[in-house]
Amino acid sequence: MLRTTLLVALSGAALIPLPASAQMHDHAGMNHDMAPPAPAPTVVSPVPAHPDHMSAAEHAAMGHGGAISDQPAAFEIGSGTSRLPGAVPSMPGIHVMAGDWMVMAHGFVTTQYTDHSGPRGSDKFYSTSMAMLMAGRDTGFGHLQLRSMMSLEPAMSARGYPNLFATGETANGEPLVDRQHPHDLFMELAARIDFNLGSDTTAYLYGGPVGEPSLGPSAFMMRRSSKLNPEPPITHHWFDSTHITYGVVTAGLSSGKWQLEGSAFRGAEPDERRWNIETPKLDSWSVRASWTPSPRWAVQASYGKLKQPEALHPGEDEKRLTASAHYENGEGLSAMAAFSSKNRVPGPTLTAWLAEANWDLDQHNTLFGRLENVANDELFPDHDDPLHDQTFRVSKVQAGYARRFRLDPFELALGGSLSGYLKPDALDAAYGNNPWGYTLFARLTLGR
């Protein structure tokens, strides 16, 4: 584990350029005491950006989505092409000019210990990580952006780490139940090209061998509402399991308040070989509409048809419908509520609800929490078990606290969370009468 943590730290450090022109952008320190005015239009500028005065297009591409001013932008870019509210940008990092290119580095490494009670509970000391490197520049027709994201989580066991009532994917050919699988080494290798259509409207193309289609809300590790939460949602495979997809092409139209887009992508989830890049395919599709009426709100609805996404259900396609609303108050509170329905074809329709929040009380103290409710039929993969393929509705309630320390250009957060579960009595033999769990963590983030 120490080896993994050191490798992650070195990997993140390798992404940080050190010239004197480097600037660390502290978006959380922006003044948002006044109610935000009507959002300024998004304008693609052909003028090269500079660290102290980025163009509107550069600002949008780096995760801001609107013209530069003392007021928040209408939206920012989340994972893939998803939108988040612009009131408090959630993408800290280091920004450096390299000729006409603006380069941004971001990442984190978290060391965690988790323990869950009951017959299926277990404990583990482990590390999660993410490193991102992005480069963008204005062009005569709009804007070009190159994006990469990587993780050293494949260095851990294929069984990942404990996450009670979570299901999805496999390890050594066996279904993962009550576990969270490690993410792949390559989480994103993609590019985005924006074309200025005049006024505040752009057309864009996004895609690459590894990316995220236009389906669901922004992935949980990129949402400010779950910024310091050390545990993945148990509803991950309902809302954002497509955030690592091998083969994606997305086309869309975007303005300051709305975005319409569609994707072709590979429906199958990543396999157990997490160090490689799998063969891209375009056998599935999705559409998404996003609405950002003000810098405080981002709403999306999406629908997708996935071809045989799960190895545990060969021959079964999936129709997935999601809707979410993300809120930022501009003063440290970020929250999201979401619904998802996935219909296996052939098979049952399973629904999930999720609500989560992250509240920065001040520069050092953060409260966070999550409430989930999901109908899951994968808790008993053994075909000889009488509960095999039966659907059980389970709820998880989680609350946590973190203390943050500024170590420029990093931020260190020390904290923990406590979780409880509500479940049918039929699960008592497998999970105990009142299962619960906790996680302690130390998270080092590049930027604030």
Q: Provide CB contacts within 8 A for 56, sequence distance 6+.
A: 42, 43, 44, 45, 66, 67, 68
pLDDT digit string, tens, across residues 142-156? 999 999 999 999 999
Which pLDDT score, from 0 to 100, does residue 218 have?
Answer: 97
Give CA–CA dist 94/409, Å, rounded.
8
CA torsion angle 247 282 377 326 (round to 10) = 60
Q: Provide CB contacts within 8 A for 210, sequence distance 6+.
A: 184, 186, 187, 188, 189, 190, 244, 245, 246, 248, 277
Residue 238 belongs to what H/E stretch? helix 236-239
Give CA–CA dist 12/146, Å, rounded.
18
Give CA–CA dist 174/327, Å, rounded.
39
Which pLDDT score, from 0 to 100, does residue 71 have?
Answer: 61
- The structural domains of the chain, ordered by start, are 2-446 (2.40.160.10)
Give CA–CA dist 120/140, Å, rounded.
58
Q: Provide CB contacts within 8 A for 218, sequence distance 6+.
A: 78, 79, 80, 82, 83, 84, 240, 326
Please give the backbone phi and psi of residue 441, each rounded to the nearest 5 degrees, phi first.
-150, 155
pLDDT digit string, tens, across residues 324-349? 999 999 899 999 999 999 999 998 99
DSSP state of 424: -
Give CA–CA dist 24/9, Å, rounded.
18
CA distance from start to end of the chain = 26
CB 339: neighbour CB atoms within 10 A?
Answer: 18
Which pLDDT score, from 0 to 100, does residue 91 have?
Answer: 64
Give CA–CA dist 112/230, Å, rounded.
8
Q: Where would I find the H helices in 29-105?
A: 56-61
Which pLDDT score, from 0 to 100, does residue 4 have?
Answer: 39
Token pair, residue 332, equals 């440290």
DSSP state of 220: G
Token pair, residue 260, equals 């319409």
> Residue 181: which of 118, 121, 109, 244 has the closest Cα?
244
Q: Where would I find the H helices in 259-417?
A: none
- CA 146 from chain center: how many Å? 18
HSE (side-chain half, CA atoms, 13 Å) at 310: 22
Which pLDDT score, from 0 to 100, does residue 163 have?
Answer: 97
pLDDT less than 70: residues of the chain: 1-71, 89-91, 448
